Amino acid sequence: MQNENAATDYSTYQSMVTQVSTSLTELGKVCSRMNLEESLRSVENSREKLATHKFSVGVMGEFKRGKSTVINSMLEKEIMPADILPCSATMNRVTYDLTPHVELKLQDGRVKSIGVDELSSYVTKLTQENESRAAEVEEAVVYYPCRFCQNGVDIVDTPGLNDDERMNRISEEVIPKLDAVIMVLTPDNPFSMSEAEFVRNKLMSSDLSRLIFLVNKIDIVRRAADRERVVEGIREKIQTSVMEKMESIYGKDSREYAEAKLKIGSIRVYPISALDALDGKLEGDTKLIEQSGTQKFEEVLTHMLTEERGALELGSPLSIIQRTSSELAQAVVTRKSALALNAEEFGHCQQEALEQIQELRQRKKSERKRLQNGAADVRRQLEGEVLQFYPQLEKELKEEVERVAGSLDLKALTTKEGQEAAGEQLQKAVSNKMEASMAILAEKLQMRMETIIGQEALRLGEFINDVSRRINDLQLNISGKSRGFDKTELLAYGIDTLFGGLGIGGIVSGYKNAGVKGAISGGVVSWVATYSMAVMLASMSVAALPLIVISCISGGLAGRTLTGVFFSKDIGKKELEAMKSSMMENIRNMIYEMRNGRELEKWVYDLVDGRFKELISGMEEECERLLKDTENTMDSIKKDITENEVRRKQMEKECDEALEMVKRLNQNLEPIVVKVRQVLESA
């Protein structure tokens, strides 16, 4: 039984999506009639992206936390296999379909269809045969008529956090694409080391806004007061873990640390009993559902996906509608006004316009060159930080060896078992320390990169705004020669007014919460710059931390730090010192290999080049859209002027109809715009 408030929120959001999509379709038709091919392409791309968007919710946690039961409670049906043994060996995705079935995407690229009741035979480790089958499966996609999924929501079930090999791949490929992450904990082992390391090392600090912690199996804690203590204890552990990470990256006196401290107070932690919720939904027992605590969690998740993530998702197409409406109205009024010119008068205007368009294309080339040089400068800056990191990492690893070695029991080292245990302890400590240190470096570099990109996007927004202003002046020049046209006339059609209160700060703070981090503050630029920047930031994928690089080095190379180290039968302090000395030498060799392999430097280059290429591509696309549509408008005007009087009157009528459509479309969208603006400004 789906929560009524959640269902209403999703219904409202889907209604908004439908209205925005319909508006994009209508706007595209008018762009086509007015021969604005580039604007038409932009509108169609935005509509297609909106139509294909899905919200992805990832469910994560260690083995035996009840992840599968949490998912089943959301599905209101026992679909995902659940057992007391470590269960999920594959990544499973649940998506909406009226006909229940499963598609297995195999490692070799084949797709195999099976029934829902066969799922456990392919995605679990319960038997050797099952585990063997699961090894061949890349992903299991479960199609099911789940109410929670029918509004474009996919639920992603992941292997346990303890499954290091699979989780490394999933962390790299899946986590950056998730709209929300649900981490399932339990009262008997709250916020374990692997869970803390996952939050600290696998998620960026800004991602806390899409994290929900569920304390499952809360019913094993009988007294209400004890439950409250458990939840608060877990909340404090999470807060401490995150703030330690922020301190290590920025320091206690930094602005980032202060902001995180304020933000961490609103971290989402909910006690639930997924089993009670599932039983209640299966049996129609509303009291048991209420008792389970899942209603509050589902309401919060729904709000996150609709009010928070959904508003951001609608922000980009709304900005494109606003931008295109203004440019379309300007082009239409220009064409209508130019009908009063004769061929010779327009010929002079066209020649002047083409010369200025050529000049603007030269400016675009210069801007591209500036960005390319900027990318090279940023690469050098970040590479310098990597080079400083290597000696610091060596120092930290050696200190970790000293710390762990100092805690070893010399008596235990006289046995083979004790020696093996000590070796594993040292190796694990070195590997964990390396992973934590590299994760901190990677996030620091990435956040630096995103700050730079945010600043560059703001600058490019101003540049594109200037190009747009020059284009407007060209069109006003044509209109002015015919009848003294004033741009304020556009206000009669609802243009330039709807987003008036939404400055650059609102857009950027919203996109920061979506994963794109930019340190932009102060100043409100014109709407063209605002929207140009918003569209650029929205189109950029969120780069994942280099988890493959981290796991490769921290796992593979760190494992070699014990190579050649053997314990003698009667080990003592002297032998322990010899062992430490050998490990220190191996750490030096490992750092040497890292520097020679230049894997971190390669990741920095890829990160910088990828981000700047996206900026350059966005800038060129925006400029060419403006310039090509202006050229097309000039060609259309030339054709209009050569037409006979009957065609001119028909053209005037078409222009009036186009302007009225733009006015009606923007008026209809105003309530949605206001709602989205409120969400962005409060983000």
**Structural domain contains residue 567:** yes
Average of per-residue pLDDT across 485-489: 50
Per-residue confidence (pLDDT) for residue 279, from 0 to 100: 93
> What's the CA gap between 534 and 516, in Å, rounded?
11
Residue 146 belongs to a domain with what CATH number? Answer: 3.40.50.300
Among positive and negative, which fits the CA dihedral 523, 529, 531, 534?
A: negative
Domain containing 98 equals: 4-312
How many C-beta atoms lie closer than 10 Å to residue 221's C-beta?
A: 18
Q: Do residue 359 and residue 452 come from a single domain? A: yes
**Structural domain contains residue 270:** yes
Q: Do residue 525 and residue 631 come from a single domain? A: yes
The two tokens of residue 646 are 């009957």
Phi and psi at 144, nearest 5°, equal -155, 145
The two tokens of residue 674 are 């206001």
Q: Do residue 93 and residue 229 come from a single domain? A: yes
Tokens 């804690």 correspond to what residue?
Answer: 221
Q: Which residue has the higher pLDDT, 607 or 6?
A: 607
State the amino acid at position 334 in one-letter form.
T
Q: Do residue 141 and residue 197 come from a single domain? A: yes
Q: Do residue 456 and residue 537 come from a single domain? A: yes
Q: Do residue 404 and residue 300 come from a single domain? A: no
The two tokens of residue 588 are 């030096």
What pLDDT band is residue 89 in, cutting at 50, 70 and 90? low
**Structural domain contains residue 534:** yes
Tokens 């920047």 correspond to what residue?
Answer: 533
594: nearest Cα among 552, 543, 548, 547 = 552
> What's the CA gap between 356 and 352, in Å, rounded?
6
Q: Do residue 47 and residue 154 come from a single domain? A: yes
Q: Which residue has the higher pLDDT, 367 or 208?
A: 367
Q: Do residue 344 and residue 296 come from a single domain? A: no
3-class state of residue 88 by DSSP: strand
Per-residue confidence (pLDDT) for residue 576, from 0 to 100: 72
CB 107 within 8 A of CB 88: no
**Structural domain contains residue 324:** no
Q: Do residue 426 and residue 297 come from a single domain? A: no
Q: Do residue 418 and residue 290 come from a single domain? A: no
When divided into structural domains, the chain yields a total of 2
C-alpha dihedral (391, 395, 398, 399), degrees to nearest 10 = -170
What pLDDT band is residue 253 in, cutting at 50, 70 and 90? confident
pLDDT, tens digit, 9 for 90 and up, residues 152-200:
788 888 766 655 555 555 655 677 677 788 999 999 877 877 777 777 7
**Structural domain contains residue 675:** no
> What's the CA gap between 340 and 496, in Å, rounded?
27
> What's the CA gap between 455 and 522, in Å, rounded?
12
pLDDT, tens digit, 9 for 90 and up, residues 8-57:
666 777 788 889 999 999 999 999 988 999 999 989 988 998 888 778 88
Q: Do residue 287 and residue 383 come from a single domain? A: no
Burial class of residue 645 in the structure, from the number of CB atoms within 10 Å of its CB (0-12 exposed, 13-18 middle, 19+ buried): exposed
**Structural domain contains residue 332:** no
Per-residue confidence (pLDDT) for residue 518, from 0 to 100: 32
pLDDT, tens digit, 9 for 90 and up, residues 105-127:
888 888 988 888 888 777 776 67
**Structural domain contains residue 374:** yes
> What's the CA gap between 169 and 603, in Å, rounded?
17
The two tokens of residue 514 are 């979506």
Helix (H) or strand (E) segment spanning residue 356? helix 343-406
Average of per-residue pLDDT across 530-556: 47
pLDDT, tens digit, 9 for 90 and up, residues 359-391:
999 999 999 999 999 999 999 999 999 999 999
CB 385 within 8 A of CB 393: no
Per-residue confidence (pLDDT) for residue 347, from 0 to 100: 84
Q: Do residue 383 and residue 285 come from a single domain? A: no
Question: What's the whole-model pTM score?
Answer: 0.70
> What's the CA gap between 441 and 434, in Å, rounded?
11
Query: pLDDT > 90: what percent of the chain?
Result: 14
State the amino acid at position 429 in one-letter form.
A
Strand partners, 153: 55
How many C-beta atoms lie closer than 10 Å to residue 296's C-beta?
A: 14
pLDDT, tens digit, 9 for 90 and up, residues 551-561:
545 444 444 44
**Structural domain contains residue 603:** yes
Per-residue confidence (pLDDT) for residue 369, from 0 to 100: 95
